[in-house]
Structure 1
Amino acid sequence: MPLHSRIDRSLAGDAPWLFLSPHLDDAVLSCGALIEAQAQGREIIVATIFTEAAPAPHTRAASSFLRQCSAHDAGRLFAARKAEDLAVLQDMGVQPLHLGGVDALFRGRRVPKPGSSAWARLLPEITHRYPTYRFDIALGRIARGDRALIRKLQHDVTRLMAQTKAGLLFCPVGVGRHVDHLITREAGMGNSGNVVLYSDFPYDLVSQPDTSRLARQGFVPWTWEQGLASKVPRIRQYATQADALFPDGTIPLKPETYFVPGGN
């Protein structure tokens, strides 16, 4: 059978692969089965972009997230999340990198308005780049203030590709429209010659990638079904997140979906 896409050709070799993860669980949630299988024969690097919170006062959206995680302190929660991620990836034989970006829930405006500090204690939304989850973070409208962040991340990812000599760069396709996922995709698209997009799980349980748009961009779907059962215990290792993500306790087994530049 001819090797019809870049990922097929890469599978035949042993060049390193670099995965960009928006948050401290996304790469394993979306790509864990492929990552663990490939880590047996090649170097796998998972670079997580948004790995930090910020001190209070917090928006209602951020406070709601903390309650969902049964956490009272954002700094301690994110320290625990980083420890979880390191443990999971090291167990899988993967090299973890934490890039230190601030999660959208906690990302402040670069320059608060004059005299806003007193108001910020009463209404933290006025000093945050994404004041709400539903109407800001989840609508996929990247704030103008994050344009410089995207440029910096593109530079950082290009540098990482050179340092790791990665043959493929995996980025989220952005199912669910979470701004951090879209920013992560944009950070990787500067390396379009190597990029593979992955479908964002568990967002893709309720929404689907825009396959027509991806086809127009030259991407073809590719699935990985081996070792899916091994993902469940890995996901549960993210103990601060698993119950909030899967409140009924069931983690569905779903083939991992990727979009690969075809025919080149």
Structure 2
Amino acid sequence: MNTALFLSPHLDDVAFSCGGMLARLKARRWRIVLATVFTRSVTHPTGFALACQTDKGLGPDVDYMALRRAEDRSFAARMGVDQLIWMDLPEAPHRGYHSPGALFAPPHRDDDIIPTLEEKLSLLVDEVRPDLVLAPQALGSHVDHVQLVRVLPALNVQVSQILWYRDTPYAVRQPYAKPDLSLPEGLRPLAVNVTAELPHKIAGCVCYRSQLPFQFGGEEAVAPILESFHQQEAADHGQSGHAEVFLAGSTFEPEWRGLL
């Protein structure tokens, strides 16, 4: 059985960005491992960190990350994820990024998350031994996405084993956003038809109810936004139907293209 390791900065990124691919691989009997990096509960948040939950209608007494982990668990159950991993690292607002602007600026020099992140991901890769890794491109430049992407070269994973997904809904709002400069040179787009999987993806996305008003404008908007977006992604790459688009290395295994 082939194993796919989906790396998610936050508790929703894989669902929104490449849930169609996840459903497609699962239907082809791949073992699915979903690992989310920044999942730690922080008691008594203040300032901007607290605002990140109160602006979603959640009071200060709510354990925001526990709520989101429960949503992630619901997604995993709905999608048939075989192994769900939370890496228990703190999100950027708990690491000195104290404003919306700071989240999308270059990483702080005193953000010391990289060594811990590298150690945890290295152990994970050695344990899972994935045939395929799906990782973000860091479109939109959210610092948590950037830090995850910048650790990848240190892992025991070949470029030929990685697909970089288009971070969504950043890709919806910023269709011409560029991947982080740390991605390897010579990558090329791979458009994967997910028309058959799109209803399953949408059903998985709505599991993250706390995020839907902020990210999509409400649950009722998820389906039309994703249907339109993935239809445009397909058209931009000369396809009909709906596509999720990835970046792949020039040595990405040709037989996987047939599978995908």
Q: CA deviation at 1:144?
A: 1.9
d(CA) in 1 for partners of 2:215, 2:49: 16
Q: CA deviation at 1:214?
A: 8.7
Residue pair 2:92, 2:143 contacting (<8 A) in 1 also: yes
Alignment of 1:32-51 (within 5 A): 32-40=19-27, 41-51=29-39
Match of 2:10 in 1: 23
Match of 1:131 in 2: 98
d(CA) in 1 for partners of 2:131, 2:61: 36
Letter in 1 for 2:139: V
Q: CA deviation at 1:211?
A: 6.8
Greater shift after overlay, 230-239 or 24-33?
A: 230-239
Match of 1:223 in 2: 191
Q: 1:164 to 1:261 in 2, by over 3 A?
A: same
Q: 1:202 to 1:74 in 2, by over 3 A?
A: farther
Q: CA deviation at 1:215?
A: 9.2
Alignment of 1:184-263 (within 5 A): 184-191=148-155, 192-193=157-158, 194-207=161-174, 208-210=176-178, 217-226=185-194, 227-247=197-217, 249-251=220-222, 252=225, 253=227, 254=230, 255-263=243-251
Aligned length, in residue pairs:
226
Q: Normalising by the residue count of structure 1, what TM-score does the alignment of the two structures yield?
A: 0.78
Alignment of 1:27-106 (within 5 A): 27-40=14-27, 41-59=29-47, 61-73=48-60, 76-94=63-81, 95-106=83-94
Letter in 2 for 1:243: P
Identity %: 24
Gaps of 5+ in 2: 231-242, 253-260
Q: CA deviation at 1:33?
A: 0.7
| SS in structure 1 of the partner of residue 49 of structure 2 | helix
- Aligned with residue 108 of structure 2, among 127, 143, 150: 143
Residue pair 1:20, 1:47 contacting (<8 A) in 2 also: yes
| SS in structure 1 of the partner of residue 24 of structure 2 | helix
d(CA) in 2 for partners of 1:56, 1:231: 34
Q: CA deviation at 1:257?
A: 1.6
d(CA) in 2 for partners of 1:105, 1:230: 32
Q: Normalising by the residue count of structure 2, what TM-score does the alignment of the two structures yield?
A: 0.79
Residue pair 2:149, 2:182 contacting (<8 A) in 1 also: no
